[in-house]
Structure 1
Amino acid sequence: MKFPQTGLYAITQTDHKAIDTIIGEVAAAIRGGAAVVQYRDKNPIDAVLLTRELVKLCRHHDVPLIINDDVELAVQTGADGVHLGKEDGHIAEARKRLGPDAIIGVSCYNSVERAVEAEKGGATYVAFGRFFPSSSKPLAAPAQIETLSQAKSMLRIPIVAIGGILPGNGAPLLEAGADLLAVIGGVFDHQPEQSARAYLPLFEGEPVLP
């Protein structure tokens, strides 16, 4: 499955939630317009079962499902790809395990140099952030909006921005060079379908009402 060139990138919110709840919330986010889903779960109960259900759901809607950190889980469940942080292994190793068509994303934090290397190494997309305070990663180092502009001038692959992004603050990130906005709480804290839909005008260049 192809990685989209623009749109909302929804990242699961799993803590203290049953599997059925997580699946229902992801389904709602997709109905609201999420273009990509990433399964991120720092305290999984049954990651294989949940991932397989998410793969089925996302395939039904033609939305890529990407696994955070865990190449082997992506292989085991037939997910569309993996997202790699600094400690999660190399692109070449992930590509070897997942195949030539897999989506491989790389966290680049605030480093354009890391993004350029990732593109050379075969990454499908790169992600920068956090851009705003984030409850899911409160200790993450901040990224600068100028990093997006610099990266846009040097890269050909899609750029994802992450970190505390809401409908009301996302427009400057897209204007600076981000192609997709990755969101956890802004989608899943409250009514995922309506919350996801609130981001869509950003990708159409329309003002977002408060």
Structure 2
Amino acid sequence: MTLALPRKGLYAITNDLDDDALLAAVQAAIEGGAVLLQYRDKRRSPAQKEALGRDLLQLCHGLGVPLIVNDDIELAARLGADGVHLGRDDAGIAAARAALGPDAIVGVSCYNSLELARRAQSLGASYAAFGRFFPSKSKPDATPASLETLRLAKAELRIPIAAIGGITPANGAPLAAAGADLICAIDGLFGHAEVRRSAQDYAALFR
């Protein structure tokens, strides 16, 4: 069964921890308040990704949290994941829907472009992600995004809005206030010595 996209909260995105450490960190993040997990993996082989993806899906579903896969529609389909996140260069929303079904979560990177977000919404995206908002270890060369784009998107779009890029509990409050429904975290969460505590601090941005 596909789990639905949460409307608000901490959106955790995995980093390059080893398998056991990552599974433990994901559990801690969810226990701390993460409402959505994206499996993002740029280093493992396809077979390793599938094996770890199955473990992540079992863990997430056991805790009632959807799992989506970064960039890889085929892997998401093989896993039976709840959806996929697509970038500018990935296969389109229609392909994702064809492979994953009408209820799948299909997120789209929109960078700092309201026009990309409008198009994504019209094609059936589940959410639009804007960023980066601050310097980011995972994407240091990404185009900066503005609070004004978030405000305009919130006023116009019907789908939820995610904010990504160097966001911490200390700098995230203006993004939530400007309309971010989901705050994405990679290193600010999984690079923290106490993942559960960090997740709690992110989750507090929505109280």
Runs of 4 or more above 4 Å deviation: none
Give the Cα–Cα distance (whole angstroms) in 2 for the partners of residues 135 and 18 of structure 1: 18
Q: What number of residue pairs does the alignment pair up?
A: 202
1:157 deviates by: 0.6
Q: What is aligned with 1:207?
A: none
**For residue 87 of structure 2, what is the aligned residue in structure 1?**
85
* 1:201 partnered with 2:193: no
Following superposition, the deviation at residue 25 of structure 1 comes to 0.8
In structure 2, what is the Cα distance between the partners aligned to 1:102 and 1:201?
27
Q: Which runs of 5+ in 2 are unaligned?
A: none
Alignment of 1:120-139 (within 5 A): 120-139=122-141
Q: Which residue of 2 aligns with 1:24?
A: 24
Paired with 1:77 and 1:147, the residues of 2 have a C-alpha distance of: 34
1:103 corresponding residue in structure 2:
105
Match of 1:72 in 2: 74
* Percent of aligned pairs sharing the same letter: 57
Q: Map of 1:1-210 to 2, 5 A cutoff?
A: 1-14=3-16, 17-45=17-45, 46-190=48-192, 191-204=194-207
Q: Distance in 2 between matches of 1:176 and 1:58?
A: 29
Cα distance in 1 for residues equivalent to 2:28 and 2:177: 27
TM-score, normalization by structure 2: 0.96
Across the aligned residues of Structure 1 and Structure 2, the Cα RMSD in angstroms comes to: 0.7
Question: What SS does structure 2 have at the residue aligned with 1:153?
Answer: helix
CA distance in 2, matches of 1:164, 1:33: 19
Q: How far off is 1:18 after superposition?
A: 2.1
* Counterparts of 2:195 and 2:170, CA distance in 1: 16
- Runs of at least 5 residues in structure 1 that lack an aligned partner in the other structure: 205-210
1:124-157 Cα deviation digits (max 9, x unpaired)? 0010000000111111110011000111111011
The alpha-carbon deviation at position 86 of structure 1 amounts to 0.4
